[in-house]
Amino acid sequence: MQQRLPLYYHPIYTDGIHPAAPFPKERYQKVHSGLIQRHAPVEIRTPLPAPLEAIAAVHCPEYIHRFMNLSLTEKEVRRIGLRPWTPALVERTLMLTGGALNALEALLQEGHRVAANMAGGTHHAHRDFGAGYCIFNDIAICAKRAQSHFNIRQVLVVDLDVHQGDGTASIFANDNTVFTFSMHCDANFPFRKTTSDLDVGLPKGTTDGLYLETLHTHLGSLVHVQPDLVFFQAGVDPLQEDHLGRFNLSQEGLMERNKAVLDFARDLDIPCLVFMGGGYARPIEHTVEAFINLFTQCSTYA
Ligand SMILES: [Zn+2]
């Protein structure tokens, strides 16, 4: 019998961001209600907050401490965004990171092929600072956890958000047990990129054809990494309607992209953990539609 996709969600994903913050926080709520309305075969689960020790396996203790105590500097907060800052961001960040860790546990303990968190993919967070809406790097935290608690040797990060996964790349720069692959828009944030194990920068205006051809070529080469686990940062900001993306992918193109990664993991017979990533379309409905498509696709592999 088909298993339902374990998909972690908490209302604080939306409510933990200040109402006046110019971040499309309602996307979480809208994706959640859209999946329910359409009877998508997902099992929505409530996460537990992440244990600090899991975060400390990646981030510098001083940075964690100052974030938890609301004592980041104005400059640090500006680099992260999500302003005006609110104490609820602490609980939100722990819950969002917990959602990723809980999805990892569901994936590795319950025999699913795919599990997901309806937030996160916070790939711009570095070891000792946050940036670009990212506070702690849930991808890195899950990679470390998979290796320390679940006997996973090699992790492959497939980061297809339109922005480069600079934080993840820097955290694992000297660690060959986590292979970082980022395919992104060259002329986009972060403008000073760090070096992933494989970076593929495509020009602005890239459309479905070039994008999918390039992706298939590189995914083919990644078989040699021999991963035990795939992490998919599935940001939908390559969408043509995205406000921050600069790519011109269609909804169908994004679905082909998702299928390519999910097929890759299935064909290698390895589990795949899906992180939500960015999405900033105007109106937000395009982003919501793309995420509903993503999680519905994931459910057919679960
Ligand atoms: Zn992005």
Give 190 Cα–ligand 1 centroid separation in angstroms.
10
pLDDT > 90: percent of the chain: 98
Give 158 Cα–ligand 1 centroid separation in angstroms.
14
What is the per-residue pLDDT across 157-212, written as a single tens digit (0 to 9) for each?
Answer: 999 999 999 999 999 999 999 999 999 999 999 989 999 999 999 999 999 999 99
Give 273 Cα–ligand 1 centroid separation in angstroms.
18
What is the per-residue pLDDT across 115-146, written as a single tens digit (0 to 9) for each?
Answer: 999 999 999 999 999 999 999 999 999 999 99
What is the per-residue pLDDT across 241-268, written as a single tens digit (0 to 9) for each?
Answer: 999 999 999 999 999 999 999 999 999 9
Give 61 Cα–ligand 1 centroid separation in angstroms.
26
CATH number of 5-299: 3.40.800.20
Q: Is residue 85 over pLDDT 70?
A: yes
Give 235 Cα–ligand 1 centroid separation in angstroms.
6
Q: How confident is the model at residue 2 (pLDDT cuts 50, 70, 90)?
A: low
Give 152 Cα–ligand 1 centroid separation in angstroms.
27
Q: Where are the domains of the chain?
A: 5-299
When pLDDT is averaged across residues 2-25 and rounded to a whole number, the result is 95
Give 110 Cα–ligand 1 centroid separation in angstroms.
30
Give 196 Cα–ligand 1 centroid separation in angstroms.
16
Give 186 Cα–ligand 1 centroid separation in angstroms.
12
Q: Is residue 105 over pLDDT 70?
A: yes
pTM of the full structure: 0.98
Mean of the per-residue pLDDT values for the chain?
97
Give 242 Cα–ligand 1 centroid separation in angstroms.
10
Give 151 Cα–ligand 1 centroid separation in angstroms.
30
Q: How confident is the model at residue 55 (pLDDT cuts 50, 70, 90)?
A: very high
Q: How confident is the model at residue 3 (pLDDT cuts 50, 70, 90)?
A: confident
Give 236 Cα–ligand 1 centroid separation in angstroms.
8
Q: Alpha-carbon dihedral of residues 121, 240, 244, 183, nearest 10 degrees?
A: 50
Give 1 Cα–ligand 1 centroid separation in angstroms.
35
Q: Is residue 1 over pLDDT 80?
A: no
